[in-house]
Amino acid sequence: MPRAVLQQAVQGNLVPQDPAEGTGSELVEHIHEERRQLVAEKKIKPIKGGESTIHRDSAGHWFETHGKNAAVCIDDEIPFDIPDSWTWARFNNVLFNRDSERIPLSSNIRKKLTKKYDYYGASGIIDQVDKYLFAKPLLLIGEDGANLINRSSPIAFIARGKYWVNNHAHVLDAVSETLLEYCSIYVNSISLYPYVTGTAQPKLSQERMGVIVVPVPPLAEQQRIVEKVAEFRSLIGERFAAAS
């Protein structure tokens, strides 16, 4: 999938906006409320440093607030303009991290196991095992490896069914599968170079991934974006098959 199409999608240029669908800010607040409930139920851990809220002032500048701290201008972190109904948010404020549930299995252990459930690593399925850790759609993002830089394959992808994930892929949940799909599109549309550490062995740590700024449309518009991108992917696949 050409990255240019993904970039147009996440900049609000691929599908129309509808004021009746609400705003991205309203969705982010809903996510915050859901997070507080999950933290209270001890299903997830609170964000280190607390939640943040990003808003645009009347002059068009973007500010971020952590708790009761004074708002700080973050214009230098905003990569492009977005529609008025959208907002920006930190990655760790729109998704729920489930990295603590990952368990790595060595190749020697996996050789002894019945091949039944997909076993995911940084770039996708690398094996199969006889048990599973997750049984719902989740967003996986490669944590390490050269693909973080050279992007020879998508770095973000949705895992479905029953499956196992090792410690080379971040595991992320959300208030909806649509949001997971949208965030996957966004991560695959941008360069992760500013967030990656290391050269011999590039790594996208949980902390660095969490500070990525994400443009957030209303959920209904996210669904249209996901559908439009899927349509482009289908067309590209058909053209490739016809040329083969």
The residue type found at 87 is T
Q: Classify residue 18: in a domain, yes or no.
A: no
Q: Classify residue 17: in a domain, yes or no.
A: no
- CATH number at 213 reads 3.90.220.20
Query: With 50 as the cut, is the pLDDT of residue 144 above it?
Result: yes
The structure's pTM equals 0.93
CB 139 within 8 A of CB 156: yes
Residues 6+ apart with CB under 8 A from 5: 14, 229, 232
Q: Classify residue 35: in a domain, yes or no.
A: yes
Virtual torsion, Cα 141, 147, 153, 159, nearest 10 deg: -20
Q: How confident is the model at residue 240 (pLDDT cuts 50, 70, 90)?
A: very low
Q: How confident is the model at residue 1 (pLDDT cuts 50, 70, 90)?
A: low
Rounded mean pLDDT of 57-83? 95
Q: Where are the alpha helices (DSSP H) in the chain?
A: 3-10, 24-40, 91-94, 107-111, 147-150, 177-189, 206-210, 219-243
Number of structural domains (the chain) is 1
In whole angstroms, give the CA distance from residue 134 to residue 99. 12
Q: Print the domain residue range for 134.
A: 3-12+23-243
Rounded mean pLDDT of 124-149? 96
